[in-house]
Amino acid sequence: MNISTRDVNLLVLFRVLYEEQNLTAAARRMALSQPALSHRLSKLRDELGDPLFVRAARGLTPTPRAHALAPEVTRLVDQIEGFYQGADEDFLSLPDTVHIYGTDYIEQLLMPGLIRRVSELAPRLQLVTHNTRGQLPARELESGACDIAIAGFYTGLPSTFYQQALHSEDFVVLAARDNSRIGRRLTLKAYLECPHLVTTLTGDLHGIVDRALQERGEKRRVVAGLSSFLAPPAMVRNSDLLLTCLRSIAGEATQRYPDLEIHRVPIPLEPVQVVQTWHQRTHRDPLRRWLRGQIRELLTDSPHESDS
């Protein structure tokens, strides 16, 4: 094969499309018009002999061939970018502080593994976490008070922000094993009869579940809203309370409290896509770029990741 006939920039296009899975977002990130991006995608398909990305209800979906190629393409592009950035990792030995905005759920999921990696590979780096309080910390990202923001509810990003999908996670229902209203399985009738706890970072008690119920002409009874993702499971014990939460939260809770159990949600709910977001100010900073890579590896490989 004559490699001089190949366009290595198409591998960059592949990685961006795989991460964004949206033509508009990919075009903005690569500073291309959509027609120009579509033209390059056509060349990429010809070179690799596969459609790679096909239209779906919400943007693009990778083909099996694209999923198989993604790890190797990511490795190659990272190596090429590292070469042009000097390819040395002296930045890992420098003192620095990185501020990460998220939730207590993200702290539990991410920080144990991230602290271990940082302690080993960048021992002079300090990590500080902050509560994102239910919305994108745009001002903090722009000012430098926040380096990376991680959550499952960031939408409508300005053009000066970057976003990377980390993992998708589905909802389940957490209940006490001795819940008097649940039989062999959790029916919609029993779900609506039980009182509910919700996590609310903004004070709003009408969330994803309530909107889905409203579309079906149903309504649940919410008795309390809490500002934590991790505290509510303890309150479900020895009661008829229900908590609709992410699977990883429920899984951790049942390990801690054997008298709790997990049920399927009796209505369809879209899974949550957890993403990390950063400002163009830090996009090329080698340390923060390295840290985003560590975060992606840890959360993409998370044992709590949903199969959905």
Write out the residue limits of the CATH 1.10.10.10 domain(s) in the chain: 3-84
Q: Which pLDDT value is given to residue 157?
A: 81
Give the C-alpha distances (Å, rounded to integers) separating 10 from 13, 15, 43, 48, 303.
Answer: 5, 9, 8, 10, 32
The better pLDDT of the pair 92, 154 is held by 92
Q: Was domain 3-84 assigned CATH 1.20.1600.10?
A: no
Given pLDDT bands bounded at 50, 70 and 90, which one contains residue 307?
Answer: very low
What's the fold here for domain 171-263? D-Maltodextrin-Binding Protein; domain 2 (3.40.190)
End-to-end CA gap in the chain:
39
- Helices (DSSP H) in the chain: which residue ranges? 9-20, 23-29, 34-48, 64-84, 104-121, 138-143, 188-193, 208-215, 232-236, 247-256, 286-300
Cβ–Cβ < 8 Å for 163, 29:
no
Tokens of 36: 């120009």
CATH number (3.30.420.40, 3.40.190.10, 1.10.3470.10, 1.10.4190.10) of 90-166+273-300 reads 3.40.190.10
Query: Residue 18 has what DSSP assignment?
Result: H
Percentage of the chain exceeding pLDDT 90:
71
Write out the residue limits of the CATH 3.40.190.10 domain(s) in the chain: 90-166+273-300, 171-263
The better pLDDT of the pair 158, 117 is held by 117
93-119: per-residue pLDDT in tens?
889 999 999 999 999 999 999 999 999
Give ∠ CA 247-249-250 in degrees, rounded to 5: 65
Between CA 12 and CA 8 the distance in angstroms is 7
